[in-house]
Structure 1
Amino acid sequence: MKKIIVSVTNDLTTDQRVDKVCTTLQKNGFDVLLVGRHLKNSIFINRTYKTKRLHLWFAKGFLFYAEYNIRLFFFLLFSKKDSLLSNDLDTLLANFLVSKIQQKKLIYDSHELFSEIPELIHKPFVKSVWQKLENYLLPKLKNTYTVSQGIANYYNKKYVTNFKVVRNLPLKKEVEPHDFSLFNQEKKIILYQGAVNIGRGLELMIDTMPFLDNCIFVIIGEGDVLLYLKQKIIKQYLEKQVLFLGKMTPEKLQKITPLADIGISFEEDLGLNYHFALPNKIFDYIQAEIPVLVSDLPEMKQIVLTYQVGEIIENRTPEELAAQIKKMLKKDFSKTLKTAKKELVWENEEQLLMSIF
């Protein structure tokens, strides 16, 4: 049995893409070990494949990435394996060095344009470091894939590489019965699930809520701007209209998502990473059979146009956005959602994924 070590910088709990990849590899005869990091609030995980969390001194910033890659390098170096799977640029250096030293096959999964993430916009030095690392490593890689055609085209043109596209689609599932006791049944539910970070359009949705008396906005996730958003709704007296449910396990999230009436993905055009983004939450909404409202950005826009499962934001002002949402809530997308959910599932991506491995 071929042994593969998969590495990420998160604590393994909520990374659905990596879990699906690991499960697919295991199903196809690989002995999988997933390596991440341990956080103070990390919860126990029970997977069908092996997992390991590295304990670190540093939790963020340069020292975290440096320490993690050093620890990861030595862990990989002295572990038995036939191949390595690196997820994103922040795990790539350690994997690349070990693959060269020991002549092991390296596969790279780029979840995003890491050097173009909005968090680096106002950090030119940090961005330049990641960019130099990307410039050095990516042209040397042979087995690569990413989440959207836009990112693949960008990398293939810039580095003359051969990135393939394996979209972050959800597993096929049936919609669970709704438990409306979780929310006010008289209100329409607008849902955001994912990282609560800069550039996700959450401020815009909060500013829109005063114009939507019959709606509540539910935010599921954690991130850099969570505290700021909580303070914002207090200042605007929106505590009853905006609910924060925190980070959830995928299993619990799958029971909450079908309760919504609209799922949003309002990413702003802050650099190429968001411009080419194809967030997995869009596919999770579709799998839960709820219509989507998305930014006018190429990848997510194409999904809506192709499958007719929602709408594209027409105007990013609170009043006009509220008017569009009110009209959208009166429309029926049930037939197109049922059709799209059959096609947009992980099971249809597995064959392409395995061709890379």
Structure 2
Amino acid sequence: MPNDPRILVISFSNIEGDARVLREISVVAKHGHVTSLGYGPKPDYVSEHIQVPDSAKSLPQTPLGVMQLALHLHNQAELAAPGNRYALRALADRTFDAIVANDARALPLAFTIARRNQAPVWSDLHEWAPGERTHIASWRILVKPLMEHICRKYLPHTAAATTVGTEIAKLYESQYGVRPRLLMNAAPYADLQPTSVAPDGIIRLVHSGGAVFGRNIEAMIEATIQAGSLFTLDLYLVPAGDGGAYLAKLREVAGGNPRIRFHDPVKPFELPATLNAYDVGVFWIPPTHTNARLTLPNKLFDFVQARLAVAIGPTVEMVNVVNDYGLGVVSEDFSVPSIVAALQSLTPQAITSYKQAAATAADPLSFESQSKVIDEILDAFLQNPPTAGSKGTIHGD
């Protein structure tokens, strides 16, 4: 309708394949006319999409931008990324009634647009922004200080903030004085029943997600092979931006073993039904940086909606969920022998029990339960709107 609130959702990702942002937009769209801005084609639920060209990167990777980062000229670097420059031209003098900024890198653009009519900004922080890629030296040296600057400058002036886990929320509070509300990466409720363990005793392991170096997928493969003939592992992997190099390495590690099977990736909303055919969802990610140490990923909630047992490493946020709901086993550490020991501790009876626990947890751990936070934020914005920067003047360096 012409008088519906105008809501801008910014995400410097391919929104069509970004499960968290897609779920977010599905709820935001109930509150007004949604314009999305990001990479890739127009996603579902939006009224309008501004597609940022793939070549227009979301970080200041131009010679001028790199110089600004190196000299710590962060005020100048905030909007220097080609993606930001394109977005500013595309949005011209447009105004919105509310703005959603996905991840810290979207905040400078969000506040630039918001100031035109003092619109409130909600920051949805998908991870610990200063630690996003600190395992990469150039990112750690050049980009991390920019992310710290953006969080320090803008987060205290957001009208609302959310993030994926309690431990990351505590970090934002301790470092920037803002305690985001919890909005976990929960999948939509799937009306499924646990499948039975195979009568021949074969335990069907499954893992889905990105074929990204550092996620320890090679250890999952090696552990499955070493665990013995009763274990199979099916992998639904999305190739990373490395031209498929890591995925090719994983195939080498598997060595053609018939108990390790590679599949094409599945769309996020199709995952639970696909995974439902298996027994145990598996994920062991070493704590190589803050976000890995504190991750509470989509896949854990996909496993729950698929009514699977779960086998994971001692990752604090995941351990809390697995233990709270009795969903599965936790290995002692992230080494192959430890993973093998965890797998071999599984019995058909235990798996059946864990699957039933997942069925019980499916409702409280569903996106529908989590999405109430989105409704509350937008109701507050649109019924009694706060204003951009209402907590004080935004200062620079």
Q: Name the TM-score class by shorter chain.
A: 0.7 to 0.9
8 Å contact 1:108–1:143 — kept in the other structure? yes
Q: Distance in 2 between matches of 1:229 and 1:59?
A: 24
Matches within 5 A, 1:170-189: 170-175=187-192, 188-189=203-204
| Alignment match, 2:32 | 30
Q: Distance in 1 between matches of 2:162 and 2:253?
A: 44
Are residues 336 and 49 of structure 1, via their aligned partners in 2, closer, same or farther at CA, if it must alter by over 3 Å? farther
182, 194, 204: which is aligned to 2:219? 204
Deviations 1:303-352 (Å, cap 9, x if unpaired)?
01100011112233323322321322532213211111121112212222
What is the one-letter code of the residue matched to 2:261? L
| Alignment match, 2:67 | none
Aligned residues: 347
| Alignment match, 2:364 | 343
Q: Distance in 1 between matches of 2:58 and 2:5?
A: 33
8 Å contact 2:59–2:83 — kept in the other structure? no
8 Å contact 2:283–2:313 — kept in the other structure? yes
| Alignment match, 2:22 | 19
8 Å contact 2:271–2:302 — kept in the other structure? no
Q: Distance in 2 between matches of 1:104 and 1:77?
A: 16
287, 312, 331: which is aligned to 2:330? 312
Are residues 80 and 118 of structure 1, via their aligned partners in 2, closer, same or farther at CA, if it must alter by over 3 Å? closer
Are residues 90 and 195 of structure 1, via their aligned partners in 2, closer, same or farther at CA, if it must alter by over 3 Å? farther
Q: Distance in 2 between matches of 1:201 and 1:100?
A: 44
| Alignment match, 1:144 | 161
- Cα RMSD, aligned residues only: 2.7
8 Å contact 1:56–1:67 — kept in the other structure? no
Q: Distance in 2 between matches of 1:61 and 1:156?
A: 25
- 2:295 corresponds to 1:295: no
34, 53, 56: which is aligned to 1:55? 53
How far off is 1:45 after superposition?
5.0
What is the one-letter code of the residue matched to 2:369? N
SS in 2 for 1:51: strand
8 Å contact 1:192–1:263 — kept in the other structure? yes
| Alignment match, 2:233 | 217
Q: Distance in 1 between matches of 2:176 and 2:269?
A: 38
Are residues 116 and 218 of structure 1, via their aligned partners in 2, closer, same or farther at CA, if it must alter by over 3 Å? same
8 Å contact 1:146–1:164 — kept in the other structure? yes
SS in 2 for 1:218: strand
| Alignment match, 1:182 | none
Are residues 130 and 45 of structure 1, via their aligned partners in 2, closer, same or farther at CA, if it must alter by over 3 Å? closer
8 Å contact 1:120–1:127 — kept in the other structure? no
Are residues 118 and 326 of structure 1, via their aligned partners in 2, closer, same or farther at CA, if it must alter by over 3 Å? farther
Are residues 216 and 78 of structure 1, via their aligned partners in 2, closer, same or farther at CA, if it must alter by over 3 Å? farther
How far off is 1:239 after superposition?
5.0
Unaligned runs of 5+ in 2: 63-79, 379-397
135, 151, 164: which is aligned to 1:134? 151
Are residues 217 and 272 of structure 1, via their aligned partners in 2, closer, same or farther at CA, if it must alter by over 3 Å? same
8 Å contact 1:118–1:199 — kept in the other structure? no
Deviations 1:259-316 (Å, cap 9, x if unpaired)?
2211122122122212221112101101110011122122111001100011112233
8 Å contact 1:142–1:161 — kept in the other structure? no
| Alignment match, 1:263 | 281
Deviations 1:176-212 (Å, cap 9, x if unpaired)?
898xxxxxx9853322212222332212212213213
8 Å contact 2:39–2:53 — kept in the other structure? yes
What is the one-letter code of the residue matched to 1:127? K
What TM-score results when the alignment is normalised by the length of structure 1? 0.87
User: Which is higher, the Rg of structure 1 or of structure 2?
Assistant: 2
SS in 1 for 2:276: helix
8 Å contact 2:22–2:44 — kept in the other structure? no
Are residues 117 and 104 of structure 1, via their aligned partners in 2, closer, same or farther at CA, if it must alter by over 3 Å? same
Q: Distance in 2 between matches of 1:117 and 1:315?
A: 23
What is the one-letter code of the residue matched to 2:82? E
Deviations 1:238-269 (Å, cap 9, x if unpaired)?
45343333433224323321122111221221
More moved, 222-231 vs 143-152? 222-231
More moved, 121-130 vs 81-90? 121-130
How far off is 1:80 after superposition?
4.1
- 2:111 corresponds to 1:96: yes
What TM-score results when the alignment is normalised by the length of structure 2? 0.79
Are residues 89 and 36 of structure 1, via their aligned partners in 2, closer, same or farther at CA, if it must alter by over 3 Å? same
| Alignment match, 2:342 | 324
Are residues 326 and 144 of structure 1, via their aligned partners in 2, closer, same or farther at CA, if it must alter by over 3 Å? same
| Alignment match, 1:190 | 205
8 Å contact 1:233–1:239 — kept in the other structure? no
SS in 2 for 1:248: coil
SS in 1 for 2:142: helix
Matches within 5 A, 1:266-281: 266-281=284-299
| Alignment match, 1:181 | none
Identity across matched positions, percent: 20
